[in-house]
């Protein structure tokens, strides 16, 4: 099979379809396990695509409140040979919570334009059916887009890129490729972004969390449809 996408491998499979039984080449995502070390302690095994590994580690630590900003980092190194990610932190100092800063307002046509731009980038999902994606956007367009085999990893990688690049959550939105459950809302809420866009459904717990935390939660964002579950003032 020519032009195998990055982070994919090819495998011969047997496919049964309307055309009968055939042996064909298929694309599979390359899922690998990386051990995450904080200092000398192993704190997690991360099953992930082997890309944006430093962002994944930083986002994971941020989500566990073990790291608050890039200033906390003394060293970070991902080793594809040993499949480890080593993070060393500087002595702890009081860090401010990420502020919302300038709020975001999006017109419905802006939401659909961002969702369309997001969908165009989801080529890995179209090729494999196994990838999740997450993006950070501002009204003018998508700033960060990352894929992974797990939706929470994709979000961690985006948050990690925000931390490493010093990107403020002010005036930003997060776009997701699937449904929104409570664990995703908790991660998103911690990073300070206030508007969340997804093509799938949220859970009741996710909606209740968004209501309490002041997040605008949009679900079933598809052509000619937007469901606003909480805090609709950000959609104009």
- pLDDT at position 126 is 87
CATH homologous superfamily of 108-234 equals Cytidine Deaminase, domain 2 (3.40.140.10)
CA distance 181 to 188: 11
- pLDDT at position 91 is 83
Range 130-134, long-range pairs (CB < 8 A, 24+ positions): 130/28, 130/29, 131/29, 131/49, 131/177, 132/176, 132/177, 132/178, 133/176, 133/177, 134/158, 134/174, 134/175, 134/176, 134/177
- pLDDT at position 46 is 97
CATH 3.10.20.10 fits 32-89, yes or no: yes
- pLDDT per 10-residue tile (average), the chain, 236 residues: 74 94 93 97 97 97 93 96 96 60 88 96 90 96 97 97 96 94 92 95 96 96 94 96
Domain boundaries, the chain: 1-29, 32-89, 108-234
- pLDDT at position 223 is 87
- pLDDT at position 38 is 97
CA distance 46 to 131: 16
Both tokens assigned to 167: 């990107």
- pLDDT at position 191 is 93
For strand 173-176 and strand 132-138, is the pairing parallel, antiparallel, or unpaired? antiparallel
Question: Which pTM value belongs to this model?
Answer: 0.92
Both tokens assigned to 169: 């959550």
């Amino acid at each position: 099979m020519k032009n195998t996408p990055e982070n994919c491998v090819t495998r011969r499979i047997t496919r049964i379809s309307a055309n009968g039984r055939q042996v064909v080449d298929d694309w599979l995502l390359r899922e690998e396990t990386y051990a995450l070390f904080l200092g000398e302690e192993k704190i997690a095994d991360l099953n992930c695509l082997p890309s944006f590994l430093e962002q994944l580690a930083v986002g994971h630590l941020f989500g566990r409140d073990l790291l608050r900003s890039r200033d906390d980092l003394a060293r970070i190194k991902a080793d594809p040979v040993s499949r480890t990610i080593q993070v060393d932190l500087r002595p702890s100092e009081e860090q401010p919570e990420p502020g919302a800063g300038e709020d975001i307002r999006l017109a419905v046509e802006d939401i659909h334009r961002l969702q369309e731009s997001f969908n165009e980038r989801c080529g890995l999902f179209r090729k494999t059916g196994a990838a999740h994606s997450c993006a950070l956007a501002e009204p003018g367009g998508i700033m960060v887009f990352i894929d992974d085999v797990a939706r929470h990893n994709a979000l961690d990688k985006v948050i990690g890129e925000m931390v490493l690049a010093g990107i403020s959550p002010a005036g930003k939105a997060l776009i997701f490729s699937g449904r929104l459950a409570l664990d995703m809302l908790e991660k998103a809420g911690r990073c300070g972004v206030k508007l969340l866009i997804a093509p799938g459904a949220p859970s009741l717990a996710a909606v209740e969390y968004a209501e309490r935390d002041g997040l605008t939660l949009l679900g079933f964002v598809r052509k000619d449809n937007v469901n606003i579950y909480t805090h609709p003032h950000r959609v104009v």
